[in-house]
Amino acid sequence: MTETVLFACNMNSVRSPMAAALLRLNAVGDVRVDSAGVYEGGLDPFVEIVMGELGVAMDNHEPKTLGDVDLARVDKVIALTPEAAVEARKLLPRGMIEFWDVENPSDERGGRDAIIDAYRRVRDDLAARLLARFPEFHEKP
């Protein structure tokens, strides 16, 4: 049975596309993955850098809003921001929505290295959460 997971954040430019790409990268089960935002944004260039470190190209990502997604085809929404959780609850039953409080790396202040480190932390946090939440979609050692 195929499961469809939608990751949602504010702008569909950092956290949700990272989470979707990470689950796609590691998925071995029958899962469809998408991402959306409360608002439509553009892909953050730092996302491309830190995902590129894993060999994941993000150039096919097209930012979209929750309104652009056929929610009738979604089994689970994982909201990565409080705003996305609120919007998802307006559109779907609460039982279909999980909320993960994920740091916003674009809030990081400092030089380029500090900012990239913040994006790496979020990437690695998401990867760990995905492994814990979806062990059935990951290869067994």
Going residue by residue through the chain, which has 141 residues, state the pLDDT in tens, using 9 for 90 and above: 678 999 999 999 999 999 999 999 877 777 899 999 999 888 899 999 999 999 999 988 989 999 999 999 999 999 999 999 999 999 999 899 999 999 999 999 999 999 999 999 999 999 999 989 988 766 544
Fold of 3-137: Rossmann fold (3.40.50)
107 forms bridges with which residues in the sheet?
none
Output the pTM of the full model. Answer: 0.93
Residue with tokens 């039982």, as numbered in its chain:
95
Phi first, then psi: what are they for 30, rounded to 5°?
A: -95, 85
Residue 59 CA: distances (Å) to CA of 36, 81, 94, 137: 16, 23, 32, 24
Domain parsing of the chain, residue ranges: 3-137
